[in-house]
Amino acid sequence: MKLLIVESPNKKQTIAKYLGAGWRVEASMGHVCDLPIKEIGVQGPNFKPKYELTERGKRTIQTLLSVAEKAESVYLAMDPDREGEAIAGHIAKYLKGTVGIFHRVIFNEITEKVIKNAVANPRKLDKALFDAQQARRVIDRLVGYQVSPRLSNLAGERLSAGRVQSVAIRLLVERERSIRIFQSTEHLTVRLHFNNESYRWFANWDTTPFLSEDAPYIVDKSLAERIAHIKNVVVLSNDKKTTQRKAPPPFITTTLQKAASIQFGVSAEDTMRLAQTLFEKGLISYHRTDNPNLSKEAIAAIQTELKNLGFGEHIAKSPNMWKAKTGAQEAHEAIRPTEMARVDTGLPIKEQKLYELIRLRALASQLNAACIEVTTIVVAPPDRVHDIGGKTPRFIAKGNKALYQGWRLLIPQDLAIEKEKNDEEPLQGALPNIEPKTALIAHHSEVLELKTQAPKRYSEPALITKLEKEGIGRPSTYAAILSNIKNRGYVVIQSKCFVPTPTAETIYDALMDKFQFMEIEYTRLMESALDDIAGGKQDYLSVVSAVDKSLQESLNTLTLVEAEGKVCPLCAAPMRKIKGMYGEFFGCTKYREGCKGTIAISQDAKQDNPTLLQTIVENPCPKCQKPLRRIKGKNGFFWSCTGYNHGCTVSLDDKKGKPARYYPCPACKNPLRQIKTKGGKYWVCSGYKNGCKQHLEDQRGRPVIKKIPT
């Protein structure tokens, strides 16, 4: 029996059906291990990450071990990207004692032909790809676990910093501030309207000759009205230019996210989730890609389907190809259906609509270019009577006419390229064929009052476009970036656009000009360095150590904001105001050195209330003598030792504002803690995490020993 391990359980049944007898297919359910949550999990000088099995990972590895013992060989068929390579590498590590040789299997689509070909041509695990993913994970951990606490200290509330997330926040905050300081300028122009040869068209005043650096806009209303009195004009030129607009490429990750957002209002995160479902069902090729080109086999299948649909005469003579963006990995082909003739997926409406979008785009990609005729007509007064300062006013009209639809037979113009060119000046329709020197009389004229517009806020598609253009992050990470800044309250959505919150501005002000990862160029170079690790051009240690060195230098520039006149009663260090779960309070700035001094702030009088602190000091922990702190839990207030980070697990009941009597465990001498349940009160040993199973009944306030059966 051969064992094939995939990531998602949704793939198991389909792949098992294709492989047939003699194969067993199991799923890893994603990552089986990760860096620890309660500690940074990596440190110099070797920066070797300390991975731990997740709770789900423990169960998964147990299952895989039991199956792998009976298998003659193991094939690791995780997704064909760095993340998949990391999952494969970790599983190989935990199964190493059971299995001798692992085969790495790569497939870009879940079809019988591709799956059988993949298992027949496996490769070895790629250490360079594994190191590239590990470097990204470790660098993100170094930034998050070292900068976020300092940032939170600085702000007095829990905040997070991220290597790419913080740069996205920078883009949003800087755009918002540019909108605030923007001052709109009212300016004027003139439009002449014509009605001849059954054409209704207009020409706008070319104001360029009348502008200067000191006066970039026309604001003189008398001048505009003087121009508007012009009615008789003569045609100076009528230029026609034929242009071809090539078919848009099939979707890559970013263009799919943008198209789904614009046409269906679906977030990038939801788009990737829906695409994942389509991939796992074997309906589309792999959806995390930056390569806009298709394989020869896919192009042949598209051409066959186009002929069946009656578009044979519009197929491009040679396959359409596109140049990938700078820095693209091009590891996989563009996103396309696995069966071009398939129209209905049988899935819910959202998945079906996304599939149709992908299918039409892939089909249209191999059609001929659309042919457009662009006409430019320039008119001016026939004499120099209307000259102003020796300059003759001119009016320009631009229009276009479709000569050949080509790929637009399948995709309407306004949906073709996700409105990527929506900043271009819109053209009017077809213009009349008027010979030069022809005299014309304007039907009427008008003075147009215009206003300069402030920069637009980023919508989700616009922010994805900006991140991609600047080389910030990778297409597969954009959904997570946008999800993070939304879920953490760093932005709110207004009219489908991101508006940064005051918290986002706090993060920006604290980190900007202090950390290299806030610089766009640095972020772009970091992505390039990770690509170099994947390509074997750089090594893991040199890249990670350089990042950590830069971080350590920058961390010293972040300082705590001290509360004026507040001194810790425990160690005399300055105190700072902290925003906690239950309101604001003052905390000692030396808490990292072990001091747990706090002073409460009255919510009514807004005055210092040292009662809480004094009570903590007067009642030390009966086990380690460190101060106790009063905590509000699910079942009310209780007292917990401030040395819990150092292993002390003392927890005492709260009775009339004082700690309960201290009862030592008869087995291990750790303090007992009283618990209230539906059946009454009882005592358990606070050393239960270390294996002590003592359980004591509560009778008349006196504990009675009772062991819990093991």
- Which amino acids are annotated catalytic? 286
* 682 DSSP β-pair partners: 675, 697
Output the CA–CA distances (angstroms, integers) from residue 667 to 626, 643, 674, 688, 691, in the order listed.
23, 22, 16, 11, 11
Coil, helix or strand for 547?
helix
23-27 and 2-6 strand pairing: parallel
Q: What is d(CA 512, CA 536) in angstroms, rounded to the nearest whole number?
A: 33
Q: What is d(CA 332, CA 318) in angstroms, rounded to the nearest whole number?
A: 21
* 413 DSSP β-pair partners: none
Please state the three-class secondary structure of 543-562 as a single string: HHHHHHHHHHHHHCCCCCCC
Rg for the chain (alpha carbons), in Å? 34
Is there a contact between 4 and 73 (Cβ–Cβ < 8 Å)? no
Helix, strand, coil tally for the chain in percent (to 5): 35, 25, 40
Q: What is d(CA 98, CA 100) in angstroms, rounded to the nearest whole number?
A: 7
Is there a contact between 628 and 621 (Cβ–Cβ < 8 Å)? yes
Please state the three-class secondary structure of 492-524 as a single string: EEECCEEEECHHHHHHHHHHCCCCHHHCHHHHH
The secondary structure of residue 574, as a DSSP letter, is: B
Question: CA angle 184-188-190, nearest 5°?
Answer: 150
Output the CA–CA distances (angstroms, integers) from residue 415 to 250, 337, 346, 424, in the order listed.
13, 19, 25, 15
Please enumerate in sequence order all residues whose Cβ is within 8 A of that of 710, keeping only pairs 6 or more positions apart, or say none: 693
Measured in degrees and rounded to the nearest 5, phi and psi for residue 579 equal -100, 105
Q: What is d(CA 505, CA 268) in angstroms, rounded to the nearest whole number?
A: 24
Which two tokens mark 695?
Answer: 């359980």
Which two tokens mark 126?
Answer: 């790629």
Which two tokens mark 240?
Answer: 């026609």
| Burial (CB count <10 Å: 0-12, 13-18, 19+), residue 689 | exposed
Coil, helix or strand for 560?
coil
Measured in degrees and rounded to the nearest 5, phi and psi for residue 397 equal -120, 135
Q: What is d(CA 436, CA 233) in angstroms, rounded to the nearest whole number?
A: 11
Question: CA angle 684-689-692, nearest 5°?
Answer: 55
Question: 192-214: buried (b, 16+ CB within 10 Å) or exposed (e) per residue?
Answer: bebeeeeeebbbbbebeebeeee
Is there a contact between 623 and 648 (Cβ–Cβ < 8 Å)? yes
* 652 DSSP β-pair partners: 639
Q: Which H/E stretch holds residue 93?
A: helix 82-95
